[in-house]
Amino acid sequence: MRLLLRFVGFLFAAGTILFLVGVAAAAGLIWHFSKDLPDYSQLQNYEPPVMTRVHASDGSLLGEYAKERRLYLPIQAVPKLVINAFLAAEDKNFYEHGGIDYSGMARAALLYAQNYGSNKRPQGASTITQQVAKNFLLTNEVSFTRKIKEALLAMRIERAYSKDKILELYLNEIYLGLGAYGIAAASLVYFDKSVNELTVAEAAYLAALPKAPSTLHPVKNHDRAVERRDYVIDRLLENGWIKQADADKARKDPLIVTSRANGAHTFAGEYFAEEVRRDLFERYGEKKLYEGGLSVRTTLDPKLQAIARKTMANGLVNYDEAQGWRGAISKLDISGDWGVKLADVKSLSDIAPWRMAVVLESDDKSARIGFQPGRELGGAVSKERQTGLITLDGVKWAKTASGPTRGHAATKVSQVLSPGDVIYADPLIGKDGQTVEGEYRLRQLPLVSGAMVAMDPRTGRVLAMVGGFSFDQSQFNRATQAYRQPGSSFKPIVYSTALDNGYTPSTVVVDAPIEIDQGQGSGVWRPENYSKEKYYGPQTLRNALRLSLNTVTVRLAQDIGMPLIGEYAKRFGVYDELPNYLSYALGAGETTVLRMVTAYSMFDNGGRRVKPTLIDRIQDRYGHTIYKHDTRECRGCDAPEGWKNQPEPQLIDHRERVLDSMTAYQITSMMEGVVQAGTATVMRDVGKPIAGKTGTTNDQKDAWFIGFSPDLVVGVYMGYDKPRNLGRTATGGHLAAPIARDFMKIALADKPATPFSPPPGIKLVRVDAKTGMRAGPGDTGRTILEAFKPGTAPPDNYSVIGVADPDGRQPQSLPDADRSLFRPGTGGLY
């Protein structure tokens, strides 16, 4: 008995010693692995990389920019269904354990022992808290060391943070495939829905992804993805979080993914979105743009943008088709499965309803074409094959562009198309304006390009912007990046300079040949009117602008001086610095469409400075406004005690005035004359009060029109990226103005015909339309109401700028307009 007691005592002592050694060893291990653990307190102030989202003015999504596509959702905004789905899939005991699930660890250890030596990856037993520790503070290294550190961190995190905070971090950080981080981004990427719209089946699929998103791809590994989704549905049912009927329905739901595109989401808004992205990059840098979670409200009007895109594209295509058919894009071997081969040909994604196609058969009457098939989410070519017909009606425009038969229209389809030709086509529109079923029209990508900008003249908000025919073809934005000569569309700057400095719309300047010695061996410059040999003699400034007379503009620029014109051009933002050469008065400098539209906005709004903007407001990830474009002071807007019959709030505009309001009205009235009876008469079709000016450069390389109503300014430019002649009759009035007309007809269709309002103090006096002199009581045939500032009046005699007597003296008046004085070769002209 005594021996037994001694043996028991020995065992107890040995056990105690072993226990103490074990505790010491465990304590030592904990101390060893704890001493270099990451600081978990950083989770408190953790700011994950969140995507920047850009919205149009109506709130529709325009673009998303991120390196990791993530939207951060507070746990309160996550639906219970989504939370339960992730708990069912990852950690059903999350709200019960203290950071470590010991039963789960035992199962993982048993499985590891069974698979020992098989080279299989060990099964994890990580709780959600452990995954937070790993994802935020550790690496993905597969080792016992990392697992020990993970467990230690998990216990510390559980003591420091609430369960909801830990779950919030997890649901926003976890990678779920297809570039999506967090449940909010994944919901958009996979299903184009917010998390609040997810069905049971969709929530279950997202919850299935954290284990292995690449092996649960909805297309590449469809069956496995459905199997794992159904497993999560079963766990939801088992835990009592959904009903049996919901589970049965969810298992039957097909796994269909609605892929959400990156980049611009508003059709035709790609150039605008990219311009906003560049602006944000310059303001805040790369990290803030792609990780800062900015919310950007832009000025884009989606309806106007769609109209601008369509009218601009139509204008470019109409001009290009008039030049003739240049041939197929490429040639394709159509033997075998032509769809797979055609799918590999790069096509433009932003020119709908145009579609790439290949000619399968052709004869005299028609050609059968096969359209490029789409690709599924996994990249595989769709098995669907669509075909259509191009008849003679679809190729009538395709006259030969070069060679001995240049300009000849096609009489047979086979003259234009042959099997293997890769082309673009879109639905054929019949004479009744309806789509002809099954028939298509041949298209070709235009070589000519251009740009359009539509702006609110009072605020500078860019409502629409088109930077070219296709952003997918060229990301070069011709509205903001292409510096081209504006030609005669610059003349209103010259004339407004004169009007702001003592001249009137009735000031008379001679239109006649002129020679200017440019000095320093540069030779003699002889500016000419567009009509070359045609000169009109003495002309009022109004008529000179209406007819876009170059020699009058040059004489006027001589009279007021180029330095003053350069100062006004800088005020208006057209040029940063304008050289003191008279040719620049005719628009020889280079500027952009956006700058020109901004300048005309200042004419339209009465002379107030306008700063163009594509952005209304920027908010940071917490909703704080960090930028807003509108800097006006609102007096009385802050009413903390509510409405108590106080005076209405007032908006105080502190913006600089760059042009006298009466001058702005005078030049606007003169540009109305350009539309009514000048170089832009095509704009009369809009049926509303419109003012504007055309522009055409030397050798017809650039065609411009900038015009405006009281509430909208539109600028259009057309030209080749590598400047070349557009054609003998290619003027701003023939090419650019019709595009602006088509846009404004639709954009202003529902707007009242509001006239331009004269400012207080302006005097409207009836004058002779030809001479500018005050009209007499009996003059009724050719009189107009002209705008004069206080202290100015119509001339009582005929004073002409630009005529000298034989002795070289400049007379102040010319009693009679003797046209013989202004013929080429007549002395006394300069």
Residues tagged active-site: 90, 488
The residues pairing with 295 across neighbouring beta strands, listed in sequence order, are: 53, 619
Neighbours of 635 (CB within 10 A): 12
Beta strands 421-429 and 330-331, pairing class:
antiparallel
Burial, 421: exposed, middle or buried (Cβ in 10 Å; 0-12, 13-18, 19+)?
buried
Task: Give the 3-state DSSP-derived string for 154-215, with helices as H, strands as E and coil as C.
Answer: HHHHHHHCCHHHHHHHHHHHCECCCCEECHHHHHHHHHCCCHHHCCHHHHHHHHHHHHCHHH
3-class secondary structure, 572? coil
What tokens were used for 768? 């002779």
**What is the rounded CA–CA span in Å between residue 38 and residue 374?**
48
Cβ distance 765 to 788 under 8 Å? Answer: yes
439: phi then psi, degrees, rounded to nearest 5: -110, 150
Burial, 675: exposed, middle or buried (Cβ in 10 Å; 0-12, 13-18, 19+)?
buried
DSSP 8-class letter at 425? E
Torsion sign over Cα 518, 523, 525, 526? positive
The residues pairing with 703 across neighbouring beta strands, listed in sequence order, are: 696, 718
Cβ distance 669 to 692 under 8 Å? Answer: no
Torsion sign over Cα 704, 578, 542, 527? negative
What tokens were used for 653? 């505009």
What tokens were used for 293? 């979670």
The residues pairing with 65 across neighbouring beta strands, listed in sequence order, are: 52
**What is the rounded CA–CA span in Å between residue 494 and residue 545?**
10
Q: Which helix (H) or strand (E) holds 133?
A: helix 128-137
Q: Which helix (H) or strand (E) holds 317?
A: helix 302-322
Separation in Å, CA 699 to CA 323, 412, 720, 728: 17, 36, 13, 8
Q: Give the up-direction half-sphere exposure of residue 66: CA atoms within 13 A in the CB hemisphere.
A: 26
3-class secondary structure, 629? coil
Separation in Å, CA 702 to CA 49, 302, 582, 695: 45, 28, 20, 8
